[in-house]
Amino acid sequence: MSIQEIEVKDLKAALDGGAKLIDVRETDEYTAGHIPSATSIPLSTITVDFERFRSATDLYIVCKSGGRSMRACEFLVDQGIVNVVNVVGGTMAWQTSGNEVKLGEQP
């Protein structure tokens, strides 16, 4: 099964519509600047606690540039959780597009 992807230009509309965004970067990366509505769940913990994603609607997964988030999506799809969408270009693309980032802990 191929992984769904979304460009950052389309992500803003999805987030405005209430989409859930998971940031899989490490905590120090997240606190240094993240997409404002993103929840921090590091990639290393997803493999241990993936059942919590099973009942969620579409989950948008982001990292720094799209590599780790794609790995997270692939892992979740392998577990039968198919409602995941990789954010192409990650937080870097979000910032490059002129969107704000939030510093610090969870929103």
Annotated active-site residue in 41, 63, 72, 84: 63
pTM of the model: 0.93
Is there a contact between 73 and 46 (Cβ–Cβ < 8 Å)? no
Q: What token pair was written down for 35?
A: 């997409």
pLDDT, tens digit, 9 for 90 and up, residues 15-69: 999 899 999 999 999 999 999 999 999 999 998 888 888 877 889 999 999 999 9
Instruction: Indicate if 73 belongs to the active site.
Output: no
- What type of residue is 3? I
Q: Which helix (H) or strand (E) holds 56?
A: none
Domain spanning 4-96, CATH architecture: 3-Layer(aba) Sandwich (3.40)
- Name the strand (E) or helix (H) holding 54: none
The DSSP-derived string for 46-82 is HTTSGGGGTT-S-EEEE-SSSHHHHHHHHHHHHTT--
Residues forming a β-bridge with 102: 34
What tens digit of pLDDT does each residue of 73-103 get?
999 999 999 899 999 999 999 999 999 999 9
